[in-house]
């Protein structure tokens, strides 16, 4: 067996070496320093910071409207580059070029891009295709476009696909059949071949939304139908891992439809860097055999590696890709063989520039008896011409992946390709730029132990694992969607419907007020006083309970919550009107608070030695304050209540929870979990009621601490009441206070609008804008104003409104009738103050309010200054970035805020001058994560206490200093003593 393997391996290396010799005659244009940017790419290979600056500059360039803007960005990006040579040479050239530099640069980038992306208009595309077929090389077209954020954009993309199919079908009539590229063992191959990204076919490709599958299937069906009619081929591209299951499902689903039994020629891309790729390959082969339908598989290594890692880390999910390049390469070879073994039903296409990988596939095909035209090699346009030439000379069918489209939307493609082919593990880079020895490049891939990512993992501390955020449920997985659906049904079965009068508080489903979530007994004033006394009596015992034990109770509660997370999210969905992801996120955040504050207390519980003195120990330590009242809002009914309560409890205070009237049931759940985790009854009591009850608690002279999250009006009144000393009060109360926000998002002229639109919608309309962090002011700079606003309106229009248990509805109800009418009032005010550019219909039943957008809003108007707490966005026009910052800061709130910009100088300026508690750059402004983004506002948004941050627990504690003289008649204790002493004898 070893001998067989060895012979095979020898053959692979021989072929790779032979291909390499042929390829070596030319250099890929990518690595030719033909012009300014060519030279910069060359330099960037030597310097990572220059490479980043270059790619970021290329990324922003198409969005820059003027030469002045280009010049400014050039300077911002490259004056800070470390690489002395690259930076200096480039800047020198730029300076020499004077005012001409900007147009030169733009011309250069356009030239650069055109080496990789064909022009859609005119006849450039036809010229390029004719040249390719002369080599001869087949092609597949990739249509580059803006990220699709609305239905109109999705329909426009579909139209472009259809138009291209028709246009090329017509053109291709005149192309002669070329045996090497147009013929397979099973017959002639379509000369027209289109690659399609499914995410471009709908407003938001969301696996959770059942509409995604039906809408995309519908649109893909039309493409397939047209391709079948025209005799063209369609390949479905693979995007990020989160889209994979749904992409495969749609691909197979459409092909299972009777009309697509044999036509069109269809293929799908699979990514070898994914750990699950082998499973997908095997399933696809099984499916095709069962279905008796040939399908193509384009095997690639994968182009989203950075992003997959980034996204997984953000959510604390397992990383779906191999971390080791060699593992990916080895998997690629394994999958190549698998695909070739399935050549009875699979048309394999090997997409790679790596000669070793390609040689492996070719030799394996030979070994398995697959004819040379029974598979093909695919490569990117403009990246690896010499390799392509060698492959063609070797007799294989080569197909070029050719992007077509405009420069601006093509940048995303361009960056991805430049990045991967200039990364220091790229075969091309190693061959042509780093000039590595061919022998080292064609060795069989061997897994290398990967330390670097693991080294960044939090290390366990003191036996207990370091804090890690609770991962949200991955609703891109079907089993999770099904489980939550079942949980919703189960919980709904427990809802009540009859009403009961008297001292009961009833909680209703805001999407359907006839549905009663639960009823709880209202706490009377005398009950409240009794609760305070009970807490005060129990306090010394709780205070003196070891911090470790208190923390353990939090950890247990977190464990219980983890087990019950499905049910809890379901209850929250019904009680608070939250969507699936939002409800789940609130539960995960509650778990985070328990785990984080528990660990924080373990850290703070250790007394600190303030100074080393031989004769005196000086300890600095923290102790709890006493009885804490927790007044929590309904919008994060579990997380905020749990967070404030956990902070109070773990620090040793007794807590009296006063949840919002609108979410009493979630509070009951929390209390039950804390009890189950072993919390003594008197340590935490639940008092149900409204503002009157809260006010009574706040005024009590026996209360030591008030932790409040809610409206400004209530917060300021609490502060006033709490700091007015009352008879019988023997301490100063402490107030931890988070109030509202009127949060602004700025969009700079050079912003990435694809990203901005998506994040603005999330931030403004997520949970119907009922978050203190929600975006309610959108400040747009002149150049982007109209374009962004129109995309935003279109994208928002694609959102559907309805009860949140059905995940097709992105917009649910607001919390209650009062909220609905308050928001309606503000909409009326807004209509007077600004221009209503979007108002959507909403169901009349339930407390629904559709998203509303006002444009041309005066920064000083009420709609731009007052917190609406609903899905209402005020758009303000700004002259420039300074003006935008001034508008953003001109508010008495300062909770969250954000901006989208790709100008290093503006990012730096915004960082300093956009004065809010939580500032977000180039991302959404909601969804602060415990520990990662300590959360809390300035000005009248709060007192700067940051929940989920390292200083939060200090507010619940009082420091004490204990100094002990340890010298007794000149005799020091041993720990401070030292062996070598000078005393006489």
The tokens of 86 are what?
């690259």
Binding test (CB under 8 A) with a copy of itself, winner from 620, 695, 822, 909: 620
Q: Does 453 sit near a copy of itself (CB under 8 A)?
A: yes
Of these residues, 738, 805, 833, 931, which one is catalytic? 738
- What are the Cα distances from residue 350, in Å, to 254, 272, 298, 356? 24, 11, 6, 12
For residue 913, cis peptide bond before it (omega within 30 degrees of 0): no
Quick one: which segment of 474-482, 587-595, 873-881, 967-975 binds a copy of itself (CB under 8 A)? 967-975
Binding mask 306-345 for a copy of itself (x = CB under 8 A): xx-xxx-xx------xxxxx-xx---x-------------
- Could you please report the per-residue DSSP string of 446-503? ------HHHHTSPPPBTTBPPP-PPPPP-TTSHHHHHHHHHHHHHHHHT-B-----SS
CB of 416 to a copy of itself, least distance (A): 6
Range list of β-strands (E), 153-283: 183-184, 187-188, 193-196, 233-236, 265-271
Determine, following the binding rule CB under 8 A, whether residue 272 of this chain makes contact with a copy of itself.
yes
Q: Residues 154, 583, 940, 953: which binds a copy of itself (CB under 8 A)?
A: 940
Q: Which stretch binds a copy of itself (CB under 8 A): 190-198, 520-528, 666-674, 948-956?
A: 948-956
Q: Of residues 708-727, which lie at the interface with a copy of itself (CB under 8 A)? A: 716, 719-720, 722-725
The DSSP output letter for 976 is: G
Quote the least distance from Cβ 293 to a copy of itself, whole Å: 27
Residue 818: in which H helix or E strand, if any?
A: helix 817-833
Would you say 495 and 517 are in contact if contact means Cβ atoms under 8 Å apart?
A: yes
Residue 345, helix vs strand vs coil:
coil
Q: How far is the CB of 467 from a copy of itself (least distance, A)?
A: 9
C-alpha distances (whole Å) from 264 to each of 160, 293, 583, 641 are 18, 11, 43, 56
Return the CA Rg of the chain: 32
Q: 376 near 403, Cβ under 8 Å?
A: no
Token pair recorded at residue 964 = 């002990």
In the complex, the smallest distance separating the C-beta of residue 145 from a copy of itself, rounded to whole angstroms, is 14
Write down the least CB distance from residue 375 to a copy of itself, Å: 17
Stretch that binds a copy of itself, among 475-483, 520-528, 611-619, 642-650 (CB under 8 A): 611-619
Distance CA(623)–CA(544), nearest Å, equals 9
Tokens of 592: 């985070």
Work out whether 920 is an interface residue with a copy of itself (CB under 8 A): yes
Cα angle value 928/934/940 (rounded, 5°): 90
Smallest separation, CB 241 to a copy of itself (Å): 13
Q: Please report whether residue 921 would count as binding a copy of itself according to CB under 8 A.
A: yes
Q: Does 936 bind a copy of itself (CB under 8 A)?
A: yes
> Whole-angstrom Cα distance, residue 491 to residue 505?
20
Question: Quick one: which of 49, 394, 480, 512 contacts a copy of itself (CB under 8 A)?
Answer: 49
String of contacts with a copy of itself for each residue 622-661, x by CB under 8 A: -x-x------------------------------------
The least distance separating a copy of itself from the CB of residue 937, rounded to whole angstroms, comes to 9
Task: State the minimum distance, in angstroms, from the CB of residue 882 to a copy of itself.
Answer: 14
Nearer to a copy of itself (CB atom), residue 574 or residue 596: 596
Distance of closest approach, residue 636 Cβ to a copy of itself, in angstroms: 17
User: Considering the rule CB under 8 A, would residue 441 count as an interface residue with a copy of itself?
Assistant: no
* Ranges assigned E (strand) in 275-431: 295-300, 346-351, 375-380, 398-404
Q: Is 454 in the site for a copy of itself (CB under 8 A)?
A: no
835-839 and 852-855 beta bridge pairing = antiparallel
**Residues sharing a CB contact under 8 Å with residue 177, sequence separation 6 or more, in sequence order:** 183, 188
Give the integer Cα–Cα distance in Å for 361 and 12: 9
- Of 604 and 853, nearer to a copy of itself (C-beta) is 604
List 142, 420, 592, 668, residue binding a copy of itself (CB under 8 A): 420
Pick between residue 298 and residue 578 the one whose CB is nearest to a copy of itself: 298
Do residues 297 and 284 lie in contact, with contact meaning Cβ atoms separated by under 8 Å? yes
Min dist. Cβ of residue 952 to a copy of itself (A): 9
459 binding a copy of itself? (CB under 8 A)? no
**CB under 8 A: which stretch of 277-285, 366-374, 451-459, 810-818 binds a copy of itself?**
451-459
Q: Strand 893-894 and strand 938-939: pairing?
A: antiparallel
For a copy of itself, the binding residue among 83, 853, 939, 953 (CB under 8 A) is 939
Q: Which stretch binds a copy of itself (CB under 8 A): 161-169, 488-496, 791-799, 934-942?
A: 934-942
Q: Does 610 bind a copy of itself (CB under 8 A)?
A: yes
State which of residues 226, 506, 752, 833 lies at the interface with a copy of itself (CB under 8 A). Answer: 752
Instruction: Tokens for 779, please give them.
Output: 């400040």
Backbone angles phi, psi at 586, to 5 degrees: -65, -40
Task: Select which of 772, 805, 833, 867 is catalytic.
Answer: 772
What Å distances lie between residue 867 and 194, 543, 739, 861, 941, CA to CA?
49, 39, 10, 12, 11
Of 39, 103, 102, the closest CA to residue 74 belongs to 102
Is residue 958 involved in binding a copy of itself (CB under 8 A)? yes
Q: Annotate 656-709 with DSSP letters as a single string.
A: EEE--TT-HHHHHHHHHHHHHTT--GGGEEE----HHHHHHHHH-TT--EEEEE
Q: For a copy of itself, which stretch binds (CB under 8 A), given 193-201, 517-525, 603-611, 864-872?
A: 603-611
440 lies in the binding site for a copy of itself (CB under 8 A)? no
CA–CA distance, 112 with 107 (Å, rounded to integer): 8
The distance of closest approach from Cβ of residue 437 to a copy of itself in the complex, given in angstroms and rounded to an integer, is 18
Binding mask 542-561 for a copy of itself (x = CB under 8 A): --x-----------------
Piece of the chain touching a copy of itself by CB under 8 A; list 149-157, 224-232, 449-457, 873-881: 449-457
CB of 307 to a copy of itself, least distance (A): 4
243 binds a copy of itself (CB under 8 A): no
| Binding status of residue 110 toward a copy of itself by CB under 8 A | no
Q: Does 192 bind a copy of itself (CB under 8 A)?
A: no
Instruction: By CB under 8 A, name the one of 1, 173, 498, 971 that touches a copy of itself.
Output: 971
Known catalytic residue at 738: yes
Listed ranges 15-23, 96-104, 879-887, 919-927: which one lies at the site for a copy of itself (CB under 8 A): 919-927
Q: Which is nearer to a copy of itself, 478 or 608 (CB)?
A: 608
Q: Does the footprint of a copy of itself cover residue 412 (CB under 8 A)?
A: yes
Q: Which is nearer to a copy of itself, 516 or 894 (CB)?
A: 894
Contact by Cβ (8 Å): 671, 677: no
Distance from C-alpha of 517 to C-alpha of 510, rounded to nearest angstrom: 10
Please identify which residue in 737, 757, 789, 884 interacts with a copy of itself, judged by CB under 8 A: 737
Q: Which helix (H) or strand (E) is 316 found in, with range?
A: none
For residues 644 and 947, give the distance between their C-alpha atoms in angstroms, rounded to a whole number. Answer: 8
Half-sphere exposure of 256 (CA within 13 A, CB side): 11
* 57-86 positions binding a copy of itself, by CB under 8 A: 59
The verdict on 109 binding a copy of itself (CB under 8 A) reads no
End-to-end CA distance of the chain: 84
Does position 428 interact with a copy of itself (CB under 8 A)? The reply is yes
Residue 238 C-beta: closest distance to a copy of itself, Å? 12
- Measuring CA to CA, how many Å separate 698 from each of 189, 632, 634, 686? 79, 13, 19, 15
Per CB under 8 A, the list member of 115, 124, 450, 699 interacting with a copy of itself is 450
Q: Which residues are catalytic?
A: 738, 772
């Amino acid at each position: 067996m070893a001998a067989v393997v060895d012979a095979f391996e020898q053959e692979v290396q021989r072929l790779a070496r032979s291909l390499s010799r042929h390829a070596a005659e030319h250099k890929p244009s990518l690595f030719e320093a033909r012009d300014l940017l060519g030279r910069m790419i060359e330099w960037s290979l030597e310097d990572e910071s220059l490479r980043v600056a270059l790619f970021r500059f290329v990324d922003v360039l198409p969005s820059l409207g003027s030469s002045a803007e280009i010049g400014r960005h050039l300077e911002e990006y490259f004056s800070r580059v470390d690489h002395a040579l690259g930076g200096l040479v480039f800047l020198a050239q730029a300076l020499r070029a004077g005012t001409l530099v900007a147009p030169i640069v733009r011309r250069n980038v356009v030239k650069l891009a055109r080496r990789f992306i064909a022009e859609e208009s005119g006849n450039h595309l036809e010229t390029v295709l004719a040249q390719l077929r002369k080599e001869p090389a087949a092609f597949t077209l990739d249509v580059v476009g803006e990220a699709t954020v609305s239905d109109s954009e999705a329909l426009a993309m579909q139209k472009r696909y259809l138009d291209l199919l028709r246009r090329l079908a017509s053109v291709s009539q005149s192309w002669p059949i070329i045996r090497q590229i147009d013929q397979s063992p099973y017959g002639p191959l379509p000369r027209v071949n289109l690659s399609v990204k499914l995410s471009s076919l709908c407003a938001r490709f969301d696996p959770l939304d059942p509409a995604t599958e039906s809408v995309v299937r519908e649109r893909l069906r039309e493409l397939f139908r047209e391709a079948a009619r025209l005799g063209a081929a369609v390949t479905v591209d693979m995007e990020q891992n989160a889209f994979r299951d749904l992409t495969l499902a749609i691909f197979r689903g459409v092909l299972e439809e009777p009309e697509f039994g044999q036509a069109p020629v269809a293929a799908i891309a699979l990514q070898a860097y994914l750990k699950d790729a082998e499973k997908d390959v095997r399933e696809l082969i099984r499916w095709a055999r069962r279905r008796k339908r040939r399908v193509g598989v384009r095997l690639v290594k994968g182009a989203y590696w950075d992003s997959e890692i980034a996204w997984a880390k953000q959510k604390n999910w397992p990383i779906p890709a191999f971390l080791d390049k060699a593992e990916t390469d080895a998997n690629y070879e394994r999958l190549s063989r698998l695909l070739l073994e399935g050549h009875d039903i699979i048309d394999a296409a090997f997409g790679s520039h790596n000669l070793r990988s390609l040689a492996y596939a070719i030799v394996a095909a030979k070994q398995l008896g697959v004819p040379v035209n029974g598979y093909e090699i695919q490569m990117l346009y403009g990246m690896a011409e010499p390799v392509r030439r060698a492959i063609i000379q070797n007799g294989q069918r080569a197909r070029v992946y050719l992007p077509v489209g405009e420069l601006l939307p093509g940048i995303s493609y361009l960056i991805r390709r430049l990045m991967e082919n200039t990364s220091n593990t790229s075969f091309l880079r190693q061959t042509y730029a780093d000039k590595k020895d061919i022998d080292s490049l064609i060795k069989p891939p061997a897994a290398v132990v990967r330390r670097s990512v693991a080294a960044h993992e939090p290390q366990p501390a003191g036996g207990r694992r370091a804090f890690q955020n609770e991962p949200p449920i991955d609703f891109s997985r079907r089993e999770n969607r099904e489980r939550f659906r079942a949980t919703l049904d189960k919980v709904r079965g427990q809802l009540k419907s009859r009403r009961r009068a008297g001292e009961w508080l009833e909680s209703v489903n805001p999407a359907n007020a006839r549905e009663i979530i639960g009823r709880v007994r209202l706490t009377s004033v005398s009950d409240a006083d009794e609760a305070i006394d009970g807490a005060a009596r129990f306090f010394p015992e709780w205070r003196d309970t070891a911090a470790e034990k208190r923390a353990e109770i939090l950890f247990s509660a977190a464990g219980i919550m983890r087990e019950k997370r499905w049910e809890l999210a379901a209850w929250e969905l019904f009680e608070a009107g939250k969507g699936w992801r939002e409800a789940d996120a609130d539960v995960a955040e509650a778990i985070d608070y328990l785990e984080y504050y528990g660990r924080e207390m373990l850290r703070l519980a250790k007394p600190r030695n303030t100074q080393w003195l031989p004769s005196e120990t000086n300890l600095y330590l923290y102790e709890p304050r006493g009885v804490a009242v927790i007044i929590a809002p309904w919008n994060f009914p579990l997380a905020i209540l749990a967070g404030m309560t956990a902070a109070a409890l773990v620090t040793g205070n007794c807590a009296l929870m006063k949840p919002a009237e609108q979410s009493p049931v979630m509070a009951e759940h929390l209390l039950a979990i804390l009890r189950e985790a072993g919390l003594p009854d008197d340590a935490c009591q639940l008092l149900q009621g409204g503002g009157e009850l809260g006010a009574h608690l706040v005024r009590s002279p026996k209360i030591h601490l008030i932790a409040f999250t809610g409206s400004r009006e209530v917060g300021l009144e609490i502060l006033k009441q709490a700091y007015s000393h009352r008879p019988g009060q023997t301490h100063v109360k402490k107030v931890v206070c988070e109030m509202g926000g009127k949060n602004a998002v700025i969009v700079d002229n050079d912003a990435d609008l694809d990203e901005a639109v998506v994040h603005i919608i999330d931030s403004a309309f997520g949970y119907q804008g009922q978050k203190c962090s929600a975006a309610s002011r959108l400040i747009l700079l002149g150049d982007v104003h109209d374009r962004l606003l129109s995309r935003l309106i279109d994208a928002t229009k694609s959102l559907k409104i309805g009860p949140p248990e059905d995940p097709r509805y992105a917009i649910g109800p607001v919390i209650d009738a009062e909220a609905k009418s308050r928001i309606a009032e503000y909409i009326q005010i807004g209509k007077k103050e600004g221009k209503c550019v979007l108002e959507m219909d909403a169901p009349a039943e339930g407390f629904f309010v559709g998203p509303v957008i006002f444009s041309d809003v005066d920064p000083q108007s009420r709609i731009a200054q007052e917190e609406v707490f609903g899905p209402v966005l005020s758009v303000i026009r700004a002259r420039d970035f300074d003006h935008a910052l001034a508008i953003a800061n001109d508010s008495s709130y300062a909770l969250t805020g954000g901006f989208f910009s790709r100008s290093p100088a503006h990012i730096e300026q915004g960082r300093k001058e956009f004065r809010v508690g939580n500032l977000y750059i180039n991302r959404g402004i909601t969804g602060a994560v415990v520990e990662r983004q300590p959360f809390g506002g300035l000005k009248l948004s709060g007192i700067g206490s940051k929940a989920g941050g390292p200083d939060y627990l200090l507010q619940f504690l009082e420091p004490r200093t204990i100094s002990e003289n340890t010298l007794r008649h000149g005799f020091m204790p041993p720990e401070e003593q030292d062996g070598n002493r000078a005393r006489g004898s």
